[in-house]
Amino acid sequence: MVSRNKIVTTVIILLLLPVLFSGCIGEKNIAPAPDSIQKEAVNSSSQDLTQFSGCTGEKNIAPAPESIQKEAVDVSSQNLTQSSKKENMPEIKITSFSSIYKHDNSDNEDIYLFTWENVPGNQSHRLLNFLKNDFNINWAENAQISKDEDETIHIFTDENSIELRLFNDSAQSWVSSLGLWVVEENGTNNVYYKKYQNKYEICERYYAVYNLSIRNNGSDLLYFKLNNLRLYEGDRMFNTTSLEPYNKNSSLLEVLQDLEKENKLQDTTLLPGQSLNGAVAFRVNSLYNKSFLLKYNTTNVTSASFEKSIKALEAAEYFNYSVALGIPPYRNCHFGDGTKGSYEPMFDDNCDTWANWVNRSIFEAFQKSDMERMRKSTFIPYIEMVYALRVFPEKNISMFPITTQEFSTSLVAIDDKGEEMINTSRITGVAVLSDQTYASFEPRWKLIMPRMNFSNASVVRISYVGIFGWPTASRFSYNNQDIVLDKDLNIIVVRYHPFQMVS
C-alpha cells in the first residue's frame, strides 16, 4: 500500500544452502558443498578438462579412473555387512525426459555486498551506498537502519522505508526486486548482488532432465541417494546438478514453467512398497542423443519407452510444421504486405525476423544468426536463447478443450492415470490429422474441437525464446508447441502459439 506520507517497500531475501551460481566468464561458485567438484561432468579419457564450449573458465576435474566405476568404501565390518544387502535396489522408471539448450552473452558477476549480522553495524554504509548508487534511492543517504526480533532489517526516514527480510528457503535463491542472494559462509549470512553486463562471447549450456518413478519392491528399508544417479554419454559421466532457473518471463516458456513445478528428487528413505516421483537434472554438453545412459550405482536405468522418447523427439524436431499449420516458419519485419510469412529469414539490424513455429532447423538458424550478428555489431547486443524439449512416451491420451470462461478455452491432455501433460489456454491454432490431411482449428475467441483419444501415443512439448538487440531495439520471439504422435510416430495433433514483439 502506498500513501502520500510514506512509501514502504518489502524485499524478500531467500536463503539457499548451499547456493549454486550458474554462469560463464566471471562465474563465481560461492561456498560450494565439499563435493561440488564432483558435480560437473568428467571425462575419464581426456587430459583437457575444459568441457563446455563458450563458457570460458569452467573446468571439469577428472578423478582417477577407478572413481568413475565405484564409490569409496568404508571397510568396517558394519558397512561390509550392509553392502551384502545391495540386492534391495530401487525400481526406477523414466516417466518423461527433457532436453534443454540455453545461451546468452551476459557477463554477470556476483558481488559481495554485506554480512547480514553486521547490519546495523559497521557495514550499514555498504547497504546504504548500494541503495543510493545502484538503485537511485537518494533518500537512503540519510536513512537510519534497525533490525527487529524477526531479523528484519528496516531502512527508513520520516517519509520512506524499505524492509529486508531473511528467509530460510532451500527451493529459491533469486530475489526479484533488488536481485540479492544470501549465502551461509563460515557461520554468517553473506549478501551478494548480481552486476549485469554483456560481452562479445556467447555462453552455451545444455541440460538433460529425467522425471523418474522410484519404488522399493524389497522387504527392507531402501535408502535412495541422489548422488548414486549418474548420466553417461560414451566415456563421459555427468553427476546431478540444479537446473538453472529462468527468471525472465518464465511463464511464457511452458516447458520450463512445468519443470520448475516438478518435485525435485532428494535423498530419502523408502518403506517396502513405497514409491516417489520427481525430477533430476544433469548438465551435459549436447542436446539429447541415443548414447545417453542413466545409471543408479552400476545398474542401467533403461526401458523401451526411453528409446521411444528419442524417436518421438526426432520426429517432432524434424517435422515441417508448414504442412500442418499452413504458415511459413518466419515472420519478417515486412509482414505488412498481407502475406502470412516467409520461408526465408531476414536477420538484419534494420529488418529482423520472428519464428511462427519452431523445429530443429529453425532453432539452428536463429542460433547461427545470433553468433554472426554479434561479431559484426559495433555495440554489444543483448543475446538470449532457450530451446526446451519435453517428451512423454507411450501414453493412452485423452485430449479435449475445456471452456474456463465465456470466451477462454484451455486445451488439456491427460493419460489414463489422470496425469496431466498439457493444460494451456495459449492457443493460436490446432491442427489435427484426419484422412491424411490436417484440419485446422483456429480458436479466435473459443476453441471448438472434438474430444480425441489416442492409444500408445507420445506427447512432445517445445518451448523457445530468442532475444536479440539493444534496450530500445530488441526482437523478442517466444514459441510454445504441443505435438501428439501416434504409435507409429506420425504427427497427428499440433498446437502452436507464437508471441512476437519488439522493444
Cell numbers for 458 = 507420445
The mean pLDDT of 250-258, rounded to a whole number, is 89
Range of the domain at 129: 7-17+109-195
Q: Could you tell me if 298 and 339 lie in one domain?
A: no
Position 423 pLDDT exceeds 50: yes
The whole-angstrom separation of Cα 208 and Cα 415 is: 23
Query: Does 274 fall in a domain?
Result: yes
Q: Which of 149, 170, 195 is the last residue of a domain?
A: 195
Q: Could you tell me if 427 and 284 lie in one domain?
A: no
Q: Could you tell me if 282 and 392 lie in one domain?
A: no
Q: Could you tell me if 175 and 152 lie in one domain?
A: yes
Q: Which of 131, 162, 195 is the last residue of a domain?
A: 195
Q: Could you tell me if 180 and 324 lie in one domain?
A: no
The percentage of residues in the chain with a pLDDT greater than 70, rounded to a whole number, is 77
Q: Give 16-70 pLDDT, tens digit per residue.
A: 433 333 444 334 344 443 443 343 433 333 333 333 344 543 433 333 334 333 3
Bridge-based pairing of strands 160-168 and 7-15 is: parallel
The whole-angstrom separation of Cα 328 and Cα 407 is: 28
The secondary structure of 388-442, three-state, reads EEEEEEEEEEEEEEEEEECCEEEEEEEECCCCEEEEECCCCEEEEEECCEEEEEC
Q: Is 387 exposed, middle or buried (0-12, 13-18, 19+ CB in 10 A)?
A: buried
pLDDT at 349: 82
Q: Could you tell me if 233 and 208 lie in one domain?
A: yes
Average pLDDT, the chain: 81
Domain at 89, CATH number: 2.60.40
Please report, as a single letter, which amino acid is at residue 435. D
Position 381 pLDDT exceeds 70: yes
Cell numbers for 462 = 517445445
Query: Does 73 fall in a domain?
Result: no
- Identify the helix (H) or strand (E) that includes residue 215: strand 198-215
Q: Which of 311, 256, 233 is nearest to 102 (CA)?
A: 256
Q: How confident is the model at residue 442 (pLDDT cuts 50, 70, 90)?
A: confident
Place of cell 532457450: 386
pLDDT at 191: 85
pLDDT at 55: 59
Query: Does 48 fall in a domain?
Result: no
Bridge-based pairing of strands 330-332 and 353-355 is: antiparallel
Query: Does 30 fall in a domain?
Result: no
pLDDT at 334: 62
Q: How confident is the model at residue 75 (pLDDT cuts 50, 70, 90)?
A: very low
The mean pLDDT of 332-346, rounded to a whole number, is 73
Q: Could you tell me if 288 and 234 lie in one domain?
A: yes
Query: Does 128 fall in a domain?
Result: yes
Query: Does 387 fall in a domain?
Result: yes
Q: Could you tell me if 180 and 115 lie in one domain?
A: yes
pLDDT at 265: 95
**Ordered DSSP codes for 82-132:** HHTTTT-PPEEEEEEEEEEEEEEEE--EEEEEEEGGGTTTTTHHHHHHHHH
If you average pLDDT over each of 91-95, 129-133, 159-163, which comes out highest?
91-95
Q: Which of 283, 268, 293 is nearest to 214 (CA)?
A: 268
Q: Could you tell me if 184 and 333 lie in one domain?
A: no
Position 501 pLDDT exceeds 60: yes
CA dihedral 248, 412, 308, 439 (to 10 degrees): -110
pLDDT at 56: 43
User: Distances from the Cα of 431 to the Cαs of 302, 398, 491, in angstroms?
Assistant: 33, 16, 10
pLDDT at 153: 87
Query: Does 283 fall in a domain?
Result: yes
As for how many domains the chain has, the answer is 3
Q: Are 374 and 202 in contact (CB under 8 A)?
A: yes
Q: How far is CA 418 from the centre of its chain?
A: 25
First-residue to last-residue Cα distance in the chain:
30
Q: Could you tell me if 119 and 232 lie in one domain?
A: no
The whole-angstrom separation of Cα 14 and Cα 167 is: 5
3-12, 145-154, 317-326, 366-375: least confident range: 3-12
Q: Could you tell me if 321 and 356 lie in one domain?
A: yes
Based on its alpha-carbon atoms, the radius of gyration of the chain, rounded to whole angstroms, reads 25
pLDDT at 248: 65
Q: Are 480 and 336 in contact (CB under 8 A)?
A: no
Give the contacts of 202 (CB within 8 A, at least 6 positions apart). Answer: 54, 103, 104, 105, 370, 371, 374, 383
Model pTM score: 0.73
pLDDT at 177: 52
Query: Does 257 fall in a domain?
Result: yes
Q: Which of 258, 214, 246 is nearest to 392 (CA)?
A: 258
Q: Could you tell me if 223 and 280 lie in one domain?
A: yes
Position 317 pLDDT exceeds 60: yes
CA dihedral 241, 247, 249, 254 (to 10 degrees): 20
Q: Which of 195, 226, 249 is the last residue of a domain?
A: 195
Q: Give 273-294 pLDDT, tens digit per residue.
A: 999 999 999 999 999 999 999 9
Please report, as a single letter, which amino acid is at residue 54. G
The percentage of residues in the chain with a pLDDT greater than 90, rounded to a whole number, is 54
The mean pLDDT of 73-83, rounded to a whole number, is 41
